[in-house]
Chains A and B, each alone.
Chain A
Amino acid sequence: MLTKRIIPCLDIKNGRTVKGVNFIDLKDAGDPVALAKLYAENGADELVFLDISATVEGRKTIFELVLQVAEQINIPFTVGGGITSIDDVAKLLKCGADKVSLNSSVIKRPDLINELAAKFGSQCIVVAIDAKLIDGQWMVHLAGGRIPTKWNLFHWAKEAENRGAGEILFTSMNNDGTKKGFANNALKKLSEELNIPIIASGGAGNPQHFIDAFQKGKADAALAASVFHFGEIDILDLKKELKKNNIEVRL
């Protein structure tokens, strides 16, 4: 049976791992390659590297990092942050990234999804969506949640799927950094309305939150950062706990 995936996310700034609380206050949590290796050995199913400085500043160091990660780890990984062109994607895939995650650039120019899917295949195109619940509506935001858009989460996710996205990474801005659980209602709706995998992000605080994201939120994968980086949750222990709750995982 296809298993549910646990994905540590490494936010990268100037080649170092950081994690923001509600995307502001940044804390240094280590060397990305060493951390990636540790996670791969400790049962992570996949990794995500998000260059969070990207949309605001430059992002040249990421290619070297991607090469180093590809050289040293034996599980799949996604790279995101500031990717704006076919050329960026070609370079990242060539350095050994398995998938790329796009956010602002595909909101600004949705045709980019079609172009990337046609050139590289849907399987490597992840569309990341940051959304905030405002007056009962899940609204898509850009630039780490600072800029609102006209898009409703569900409409945009469906649009991305129709244009060739292979996966959706949904971050709830309301839940992110709170450690109070994932946005399970929105996740469930996404999972039921779309026919591509959904990665839950934002709000992980304890193992029960992951159980809920899979059972209530019907997510295909769950992503978290600080709870893993600061050792609050051990991935192997988490997966054993999931297994105990009849959730299929790779152990």
Chain B
Amino acid sequence: MNKKTLKLVIIDYGAGNIKSIQFALKRLGVEALLSNKPTEILTADKIIFPGVGEASSAMNMLKKKGLDLLLPQLKQPVLGICLGMQLLCNHTEEGNTKGLGVFDVSIKRFSNQVKVPQMGWNTITNLKSKLFNGISENEYMYLVHSYYAENCKDAIALTQYSLVYASALQKNNFYGVQFHPEKSSLAGEKILKNFIEL
């Protein structure tokens, strides 16, 4: 896909470090549009759904803008990052929040047998998607999170932290990554590039 004509929208609903994603895309030659307008989102070629912070308040912000109904209907490739990925799931224990139900999996909190949040670089394995073209097994990704998606049929990458969980998900046109590709050095940039080129 031509990077100059690609319309990539980052959903701007008030939750998350959007600037870093925007800059990472810019380093790849893509000028992303920040928007929460349904018309812009519906006409985009690719959509990134970011999210940092607390689940129930992020979901409320999404609802306030009417995006909770729009998002699951999208037909173009959608990439949820971190909390964005978690909100695309059925339910999260964080604030006992109902999710958008795209991925058929629940989000649970890590047990206190490990430090919570998990913060730092961990490996991804069992890679199963075009999103990971050119990424080797056991590549390191940067993660910061207290809640995780259980291993499930939509899992396209696994990570171990006190247990094995799904660190990336895919169902049809929807992709989700628990890690931050925009902060994961060259390997992370490669994943963003793969998404752009899907």
| B interface, CB within 8 angstroms of A | 17, 19-20, 23-24, 26-27, 52-54, 112, 115-123, 140, 142, 144-146, 160-161, 180, 182-186, 188-189
Q: Is the CB of B160 within 8 A of A1?
A: yes
Chain A contacts for B120, CB-based, 8 A: 2-5, 45-46, 197, 220-221
A75 touches B112 (CB 8 A): no
Chain A 83-114 per-residue mask, 1 if CB under 8 angstroms from chain B, else 0: 00000000001111110000000000000000
Q: Which residues in A have some Cβ–Cβ distance to B below 8 Å? A: 1-5, 40, 45-46, 67, 70-72, 74-76, 93-98, 118-124, 166-167, 195-197, 220-221, 250
The answer on a CB contact under 8 Å between A70 and B20 is yes
Would you give the shortest CB distance from A73 to chain B, in whole angstroms?
9
Q: Is the CB of B161 within 8 A of A123?
A: no
Known: A1-B123, A96-B20, A121-B53. A166 touches B118 (CB 8 A): no
A167 to B183, alpha carbons, bound, how many Å?
Answer: 18
A97 nearest CB across to chain B (Å): 8
Residue in contact with B115 in the complex, picked from A3, A70, A124, A196, CB distance below 8 Å: A196
Known A2-B121, A3-B121, A123-B146: A220·B20 in contact at CB below 8 Å? no
Knowing A122-B117, A197-B115, say if A94 contacts B19 (CB, 8 Å).
Answer: yes
Q: Determine the distance from Cα of A239 to Cα of B183 in the docked complex, in whole angstroms.
A: 19
Cα of A160 to Cα of B116 in the assembled complex, Å: 14
A49 to chain B, nearest CB (A): 15
**21 residue pairs bridging A and B, Cβ less than 8 Å apart:** A1-B123, A2-B118, A3-B120, A70-B20, A74-B24, A74-B182, A74-B183, A76-B183, A93-B17, A94-B19, A96-B20, A97-B17, A98-B20, A118-B54, A119-B53, A121-B53, A124-B144, A166-B144, A197-B117, A220-B115, A220-B120
